[in-house]
Amino acid sequence: MGLLQEALPASTLVVAIDPGKVINRVWLRTGAAGELVPPLSLPVLRPGLEQLHRLVVDHAGPARPVFAIEATGGLHQAWMRELNQRFPGSVRLFAPSETTAARAQLGSRRFKTDDRDCAPR
C-alpha cells in the first residue's frame, strides 16, 4: 500500500510547500501537536532551503518527514530534487487540481488562498 493510501502516525512531521517564483509558502504540522511554527515564506534560493532543512531536523520525530509539494510547472522542481536527496522517499507531489477538488469538497468556493488551502481540516 502506498504512503498516500495509509494513515500516517500522529507524530509524523508533514511539511506542505506551495512553490512560488520568489518565495515558497511552507507549513509544518504533526497530527499530535498541530501547527509547529507559524506559516513561513521562505526564499526559493539556497538560504530558504537551508532554513527549512534546519526546521525539519529540529521538529522531525522518529518517523521520517513527509513533504507535500504542489506541482506548479517548473517552480517545484529544484526543491523537490534537493529534498529527495536530503530525505529520500519523503516527497509527494500534488497536482493543483487536487487542491481545487479539496477546496470544492469543503464548500470553499472563495478565491484561492494558500493559507486556507493548507489549514487543518
pLDDT tens for 53-103 read: 999 999 998 889 999 998 887 888 889 999 999 999 999 988 766 655 555
Residue 109, pLDDT > 70, answer no
Q: Report the range of poorest mean pLDDT among 31-35, 47-51, 57-61, 93-97.
A: 93-97
Tell me the average pLDDT of the chain: 82
Helices 46-59 and 77-86 sit at what angle, rounded to 10 degrees?
40
Pick the CATH number of 13-114 from 3.30.420.140, 3.40.640.10, 3.20.20.450, 1.10.1370.30: 3.30.420.140
Using H for helix, E for strand and C for coil, what is the string for 31-86?
A: CCCEECCCCEEEECCHHHHHHHHHHHHHHCCCCCCEEEEECCCCCCHHHHHHHHHH
Domain ranges of the chain: 13-114
State residue 121's pLDDT score.
47
Residue 64's contacts (CB-CB under 8 Å, 6 or more residues apart) are 12, 87, 89, 90
State residue 76's pLDDT score.
83
Overall average pLDDT of the 23-49 stretch: 93
Q: Would you state the cell numbers that stand for residue 6, as one nine-digit string? A: 495509509
In 3D space, the residue among 118, 39, 43, 49 whose CA is nearest the CA of residue 79 turns out to be 49
Residue 106, pLDDT > 70, answer no
User: What global pTM score does this model have?
Assistant: 0.75
